[in-house]
């Protein structure tokens, strides 16, 4: 079982977290192929004050990787040119190439887990103006006919979302019975794959007090409630719409294993308050786990050696656990000529 670890944005805490992770006891004895620029990883090791000396492999050696930790040096982002604490097209372009490369390794069946330390969506957009978010990029890179979803994972409660990286003003009009039902089905499927069959899902309302009898909006009655009913009819233990100011309170009291929220920060605020230093983002639905810490590039502390490893370590642990529970199958698409050097896949809007 092998992990592919893409080094995140060179201007953020991604390089130091990657370096720190590789020296952690949990990763010893684990096969890992690190993907990115050798000078960026070396910079991260300096900032994290750890010693790293990984054997370097080239793109044409990936079919026969040695065991242990190796570095696939893409030479795509000389650290000397990196400005810490800032978005840049150079760092964004390297992130896109690192990400595309680890995804292709997974699709080829060479790795079982895809992991990345934080990317910066602004850098990626500077490099590629059509870039929106990771889901859209993954769909295009893998030519996937089904979009996955992001889950925020803490051991005590999981959080899935119906919409993700879209403007808040578009949330209400994006909700539909089918979209919410699809999210509930995927949440049940992914949690069963994580060893939690029959997970009880609390479905957050959109409006204050779930609309309070249509006083403040109709979506809770007309869209969320029918979706929950349809899910229950399929055997998914869903409850809702539950007023969103108390749905996480009820989850932490043991009533729900997961909460499905209607938009990004409805869940993120609660989850990050509950466990910022151990929160994981799992991108599921592609046949192999894609994991990353739930926090971002932390430009304000980049290069200072202050970044906490907790969430990155939990991401690695979750990815490895999920891959062991669900051995990958069907990921055998051969790598094309120039696979790690060609133009990265174009991204499209992922207005989920």
Ligand X SMILES: NCC(=O)COP(=O)(O)O
| Position among 32, 135, 298, 320 found at the interface with ligand NAI (CB under 6 A) | 298
Give me 98's structure tokens.
């690192």
Distances (CA, A) of 90 to 8, 93, 101, 178, 262: 12, 5, 17, 40, 34
| Position among 123, 207, 281, 312 found at the interface with ligand X (CB under 6 A) | 281
Radius of gyration of the chain (CA): 20
Distance of CA 50 to the CA centre of its chain: 26
Stretch that binds ligand NAI, among 61-69, 172-180, 207-215, 297-305 (CB under 6 A): 297-305
| Position among 163, 183, 297, 347 found at the interface with ligand NAI (CB under 6 A) | 297
Query: Which of ligand NAI, ligand X, none does residue 159 bind to, with CB < 5 to 8 Å depending on kind?
Result: none
Contact between residue 271 and residue 96 where contact means Cβ atoms under 8 Å apart: no
Pick between residue 221 and residue 308 the one whose CB is nearest to ligand NAI.
308
- Restricted to residues 11-40, the positions that interact with ligand NAI (CB under 6 A) are 13
Smallest gap, in angstroms, from Cβ of residue 31 to ligand NAI? 22
Smallest gap, in angstroms, from Cβ of residue 350 to ligand X? 10
What residue number has its CB nearest to ligand NAI?
296
Q: Is 301 in the site for ligand NAI (CB under 6 A)?
A: yes
- Gap between the Cα atoms of 47 and 33, Å rounded: 21
- Gap between the Cα atoms of 300 and 85, Å rounded: 6
- Restricted to residues 276-295, the positions that interact with ligand NAI (CB under 6 A) are 281, 292-295
Smallest gap, in angstroms, from Cβ of residue 165 to ligand X? 6
Smallest gap, in angstroms, from Cβ of residue 284 to ligand X? 12
How many alpha carbons lie under 13 Å from residue 303 in its C-beta half-sphere?
A: 13
- Restricted to residues 307-326, the positions that interact with ligand NAI (CB under 6 A) are 307-308
Q: Is 44 in the site for ligand NAI (CB under 6 A)?
A: no
- For residue 239, with 0-12 CB atoms within 10 Å meaning exposed, 13-18 middle and 19 or more buried, which class applies? middle
Pick between residue 69 and residue 295 the one whose CB is nearest to ligand X.
295
| Position among 38, 39, 107, 119 found at the interface with ligand X (CB under 6 A) | 119
Smallest gap, in angstroms, from Cβ of residue 314 to ligand X? 14
| Position among 73, 112, 133, 352 found at the interface with ligand X (CB under 6 A) | 133
For the sheet with 2-6, list strands across it. 56-57, 69-73, 31-36, 2-6, 113-116, 290-293, 280-284, 149-153, 158-161, 258-261, 201-204, 238-242
Q: How many residues bind ligand X (CB under 6 A)?
A: 9
Query: Which of ligand NAI, ligand X, none does residue 150 bind to, with CB < 5 to 8 Å depending on kind?
Result: ligand X
Task: Give exposure, 215-234, as e/b (b: 16+ Cβ within 10 Å).
Answer: eebebbbebbbebbebbeee
Q: Is 163 in the site for ligand NAI (CB under 6 A)?
A: no
Query: Which of ligand X, ligand NAI, none does residue 242 bind to, with CB < 5 to 8 Å depending on kind?
Result: none
Smallest gap, in angstroms, from Cβ of residue 180 to ligand NAI? 24
Query: Which of ligand X, ligand NAI, none does residue 298 bind to, with CB < 5 to 8 Å depending on kind?
Result: ligand NAI
- Restricted to residues 112-131, the positions that interact with ligand NAI (CB under 6 A) are 118-122
Interface residues toward ligand X, by CB under 6 A: 119, 133-134, 150, 164, 264, 268, 281, 292
């Amino acid at each position: 079982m092998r992990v592919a670890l893409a080094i995140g944005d060179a201007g953020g805490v991604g390089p130091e977290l990657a370096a720190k992770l590789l020296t952690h006891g949990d990763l010893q004895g684990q096969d890992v192929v690190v993907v990115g620029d050798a000078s960026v990883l070396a910079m991260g090791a300096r900032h994290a004050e750890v010693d790293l000396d990984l054997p370097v492999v080239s793109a044409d050696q990936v079919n026969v990787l040695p065991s242990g930790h190796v570095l696939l040096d893409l030479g795509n982002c000389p650290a000397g040119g990196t400005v810490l604490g800032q978005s840049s097209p150079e760092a964004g372009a390297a992130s896109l190439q690192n990400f595309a490369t680890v995804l292709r390794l997974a699709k080829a069946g060479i790795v079982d887990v895809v992991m990345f330390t934080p990317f910066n969506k602004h850098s990626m957009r500077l490099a590629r103006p059509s870039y929106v978010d990771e889901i859209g990029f993954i769909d295009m890179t893998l030519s996937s006919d089904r979009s996955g979803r992001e889950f925020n994972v803490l051991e005590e409660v999981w959080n899935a979302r119906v919409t993700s990286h879209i403007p808040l003003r578009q949330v209400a009009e994006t909700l539909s019975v089918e979209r919410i039902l699809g999210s509930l089905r995927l949440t049940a499927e992914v949690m069963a794959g994580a060893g939690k069959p029959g997970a009880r899902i609390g479905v957050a309302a959109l409006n204050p007090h779930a609309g309070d009898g249509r006083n403040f909006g109709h979506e809770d009655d007309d869209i969320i409630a029918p979706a929950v009913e349809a899910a229950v009819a399929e055997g998914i233990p869903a409850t809702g719409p539950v007023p969103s100011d108390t749905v996480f309170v009820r989850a932490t009291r043991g009533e729900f294993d997961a909460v499905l929220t209607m938009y990004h920060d409805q869940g993120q605020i609660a989850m990050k308050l509950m466990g910022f230093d151990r929160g994981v983002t799992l991108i599921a639905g592609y046949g192999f786990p894609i994991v990353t810490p739930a926090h971002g590039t932390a430009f304000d502390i980049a290069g200072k050696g202050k970044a906490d490893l907790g969430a990155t370590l939990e991401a690695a642990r979750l990815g490895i656990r999920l891959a062991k529970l669900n051995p990958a199958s069907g990921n055998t698409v051969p790598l094309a000529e120039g696979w790690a050097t060609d133009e990265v896949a174009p991204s499209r809007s992922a207005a989920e």
